[in-house]
Amino acid sequence: MLVLSRKTRDAIVIGHDVRVMVLSIGRDQVRLGISAPPDVEVHREEVYRAIQQANREAATSAVEGLGGLADVLGRSTDAGPTPEPGTTGEADPSS
């Protein structure tokens, strides 16, 4: 971890296009201003962790929901391969 001392209105640059400036220093708080391109996500750590947790939960519920989707479509999840388009999937009575 890089540790720097900065005064109000001093800044640091991360990479080529992220700039962090100390806006004010209070008794128990430091206000920072962050300039970054639109494609760079900037979040407070607690928000970032909440987003990651929500993504994990969404991925889990999507996988669990596939069984219910198969039921809605009238197929079980272990029904085997899907018949070719244009066929019924039943055996040919002439054979």
Per-residue pLDDT tens over the stretch 25-83? 999 999 999 999 999 999 999 999 999 999 988 887 766 666 666 677 776 555 556 66
Q: Are residues 50 and 71 in the same domain?
A: yes
Q: Are residues 30 and 49 in the same domain?
A: no
Q: Are residues 32 and 54 in the same domain?
A: no
Residue owning tokens 């002439």: 94
Q: Is residue 58 situated within a structural domain?
A: yes
Q: Is residue 18 situated within a structural domain?
A: yes
Q: 23: domain range?
A: 10-38
Q: Are residues 55 and 69 in the same domain?
A: yes
Spatial contact of 70 and 77, defined as CB atoms under 8 Å apart: yes
* b/e sequence 35-46, b meaning 16+ C-beta within 10 Å: eeeeeeeeeeee
How far apart are the C-alpha atoms of 58 and 52, rounded to whole Å? Answer: 10
| pTM, entire model | 0.58
Q: How many domains does the chain divide into?
A: 2
